[in-house]
Every structure is written in C-alpha cells, then in structure tokens.
Structure 1
Amino acid sequence: MISRNRTPSRYVYYGLHLYFSGLSLRKASERLSQMYKRNHVSIWNWIQKYRPQKLKASRRRILEYIVDETMLKVGSEYIWLWVAIEPANRQILALSISKERNMFVAERYLSNLIKVHGKHPVSTDGGTWYPMACQFLKLDHHIHSSYEKSVIERTMQYIKDRTESFDDYFPCRIKNCKLKHVRNWLRLFVDYHNNEIKHVN
C-alpha cells in the first residue's frame, strides 16, 4: 500500500482508520501508539504517500446514481465538490472538484461517471444544472425521494466533517493552484470509505 515504510501495513491502515473516523492527527497517533508507537507526523506522511487506485466499475448492479455537490474552502478560495453514490451499498462511485458550478460542469461530471459505470437513472436535489445535463446525455432524471435525500445528505455531511480542517494539515499557498493535492487527498478518502463500506456489508 505504501512503499518504503517500515511500519507494518496493518498499523498504517489502523492509523488511517483512526484519522478518517474523525480523530485529529495527534489524537490518532496517541491511540495508535498504544499498540505501535508512531507520532502524528508519521500519520500525516502516510496520508501524503498513499496512492489509492482509480475508481473502477462496480461489480454490483447499480440501481441509480444519487448525485449532489457542495462547496469546500481550500486556501483562500472556494471549490465545488461533486459526489455520486449508489443507494443500495452507499459506495462513492465518482468524486470530482471544480471551480465553477453550471450545466457544462455537471454534464462533464456525469459523462465521466457513465464512462466507468454505464448509463443509469440520476437522482438530484433539483439543481437547475442537472436536468439539461441529463437530457443532453439521455439519462433519466428525477428529484430525490426522502430516502435518497437522507442517504446523500449523510454522505455529504461525513465528507464535509472530514474536510473542515483540510487546510490545517494540507495548507496550499501556491498561486493559481491546480488542486492536485486536494484530488489526491479525496482519492484517499474515497478509497478508505468504500473499503470500510465493503467490510461492513
């Protein structure tokens, strides 16, 4: 999982588990050190070095895409985070970031989604950028049911809870940053989240 790391992989994974469960880096290192002594810098380095695989087509039958977007603060600017999940197993199917939110960005996001997972109905919160994007891509579109709304809102809140302190640990001072470090962090988050969901299921 992480090359050139003398720490046994099971402790690396547990350290990441503690962090993504909501603990700070220091609190995570304190818990981990009860079994294997490592400081918070070690966990920070594991997050930096971790290279999760790209999202692949789901082997399970996909009923539909539940899609939503939310705003995140990175450095001195705000970006849009786009998320698609599958309602049955709640795994994240695709995640993307953009500096704008409009029909063209939504169309590009959904287009990349169906390239990996195929065409399926799309459920959204009624944002005006979705219906035209779905129409252009010939995707069935409907507004969230109460269950779909509950599932996506819980997922989005979980993501936002873990990104609130993003700049505390991953500060970016590069002018006109391409946000590569943000994408790497989010790929790690998705990889961890989906593996945890698989384990629970």
Structure 2
Amino acid sequence: MISRNRTPSRYVYYGLHLYFSGLSLRKASERLSQMYKRNHVSIWNWIQKYRPQKLKASRRRILEYIVDETMLKVGSEYIWLWVAIEPANRQILALSISKERNMFVAERYLSNLIKVHGKHPVSTDDGGTWYPMACRFLNLDHHIHSSYEKSVIERTMQYIKDRTESFDDYFPCRIKNCKLKHVRNWLRLFVDYHNNEIKHVN
C-alpha cells in the first residue's frame, strides 16, 4: 500500500496506529516487531507517505446524517467526540473532537459537514437542545432517531470507543495543555481504515 518493501498493509496500518497513538518511532517499531520485524526508519517512511486527508464527499446518495457525540478520556482530561454516519452504508462521514459540548460547537460541526456533503436531514437523540438549535440556525431538517437509526449509531459509537480506549489505557497523554494533534491524526487514520473495511464488505 504505502511501503516499497512490500510490508503487508495491515502491519503498515498497525505501525501508523502505534505512532499516532503517541509512541516514539523506536517504541512503535519495538511493538510492531513483536508481530512483524520492522525498524523505526520503516515507520518513519510510512509516516512521510501517509497524508491524513479530510473526508471527501461520498459518491453514494446520502439520505440523511445520523449524528451523535460521546465522551473520551485522553490522558487526564475528557474530550467530546462528534460522529456523523450515513445509515445505508454505515460509513463515517465526519468526525471531530472538542473540549466543550454546546450549540456553538454543534453548529460548527454540522456546518463543516454540509460543506463537504451538502444539506441533508439530521437525525439525533433526544438528550440535548444543541442539535435542534444548530439545525434551526443552519436551516436543516431535524428529527429524533428511529429505533433503527439509534441501533446503527450506538453500534458505531461503541465500536469507536472500544478502539479508542488505548488513548487512556496504553498511551496516556502527559503533555500539559496538549493540542490533541496526535488524537486527530489517529482518528483520521481510524476513519480511513474503517471506511475502507466497510467498502470491501459492501
């Protein structure tokens, strides 16, 4: 995929995952070498060739956005993870993090979402007022999750949370006032991997 030495793509992804999770190049290569022998220079080369891209507009017709947020722990602090998926193919359309959860953050998140994918109805849970207010401001149709939509987003959120526990359990952030760049990079890599896996399954 990325490397010239024909390293299987799953090991390239795992090496990038380790680095983006906060390990040094040498520590990442040590972990990776427990399964597949590669030195820190190999991982450095993969990083140079990997460019986390903003999510592109889906080629499929989007019926609606299923949107939700959840709390994650990064080091000693908590952050909010915002996720939007498309119900038909279950691909992640947008993913963002913030240190606050309110109408202004929701409006900015939805605004960035429609810049990429256009205006579509928004489905959310009934737990907060920030989504209805943000949708009203952006002139978006808003409704509460159906039972199907709720099950789809809950499975997706749990899937993400299961795989982001490494932030706190294995790679705690010790940088004071961290800007969370490594978290954003890891999440972009995760979305790339997740959407490609969904695409192959479909």
Whether TM exceeds 0.5 here: the answer is: yes
Q: Could you tell me how far apart the structure 2 residues matched to 1:199 and 1:2 are? A: 19
**Whole-angstrom CA distance in 2 between matches of 1:78 and 1:49:** 31
Are the equivalent residues in 2 in contact too, given 1:51–1:188 (CA < 8 A)? no
Conserved? CA contact 1:85–1:92, under 8 Å: yes
Per the TM alignment, residue 42 of structure 1 is displaced from its structure 2 partner at its CA by 7.7
Is the 8 Å Cα contact of residues 120 and 140 (structure 2) preserved in structure 1? Answer: yes
| Residues 141 and 60 of structure 1: CA distance in aligned 2, closer, same or farther (over 3 Å) | same
1:17–1:81 distance in 2 versus 1, CA, 3 Å? closer
Q: CA deviation at 1:52?
A: 3.1
Q: Please give the secondary structure, in 2, of the residue aligned with 1:167.
A: helix
* Distance in 2, Cα, partners of 1:89 & 1:186: 19
* CA deviations over 1:110-133 (Å, ceiling 9, x no partner): 000000000000000442110010
1:51 positional shift? 3.1
1:9 CA drift (Å): 4.3
Instruction: Decide whether the 8 Å contact of 1:69 with 1:81 is kept in 2.
Output: yes
Cα distance in 1 for residues equivalent to 2:103 and 2:33 = 48
Greater mean deviation of Cα atoms: 20-29 or 62-71: 20-29
Relative to structure 2, which stretch is displaced further, 182-191 or 29-38?
29-38
* Compared CA separation, residues 180 and 34, structure 1 to 2 (3 A): closer
Change (3 A) 1:23 1:172: closer
Query: What is the distance in 2 between the residues matched to 1:44 and 1:143?
Result: 45
Contact 1:120 1:139 in 2 (8 A): yes
Distance across 2 between alignment mates of 1:180 and 1:31: 22
* Bigger Cα displacement from structure 2, 123-132 vs 38-47: 38-47
- Displacement of 1:66 in angstroms is 0.1
Are residues 42 and 165 of structure 1, via their aligned partners in 2, closer, same or farther at CA, if it must alter by over 3 Å? farther
TM-score norm. by structure 2 comes to 0.81
Query: 1:167, CA displacement in angstroms?
Result: 3.2
How high is the sequence identity, in percent, across the aligned residues?
99
2:106 and 2:59 mapped to 1: Cα distance? 25
Rounded Cα–Cα distance in structure 1 between residues aligned with 2:175 and 2:118: 37
Conserved 8 A contact 1:81-1:97: yes
Moved more, 21-30 or 91-100: 21-30
* Larger displacement relative to structure 2 (76-85 or 19-28): 19-28
From the superposition, tell whether residues 107 and 75 of structure 1 become closer, same or farther in structure 2 (CA, over 3 Å).
Answer: same
| Root mean square deviation of aligned Cα | 4.4
Cα deviation for residue 173 of structure 1 reads 1.6
Q: Which moved more, 1:17-26 or 1:129-138?
A: 17-26
Q: Deviations over 1:144-180 (max 9, x none)?
A: 0000000000000000000112234433222111111
Q: Distance in 2 between matches of 1:75 and 1:18?
A: 16
> Is the alpha carbon distance of 1:173 and 1:45 closer, same or farther for their aligned partners in structure 2, counting shifts above 3 Å?
farther
What count of residue pairs does the alignment treat as equivalent? 201
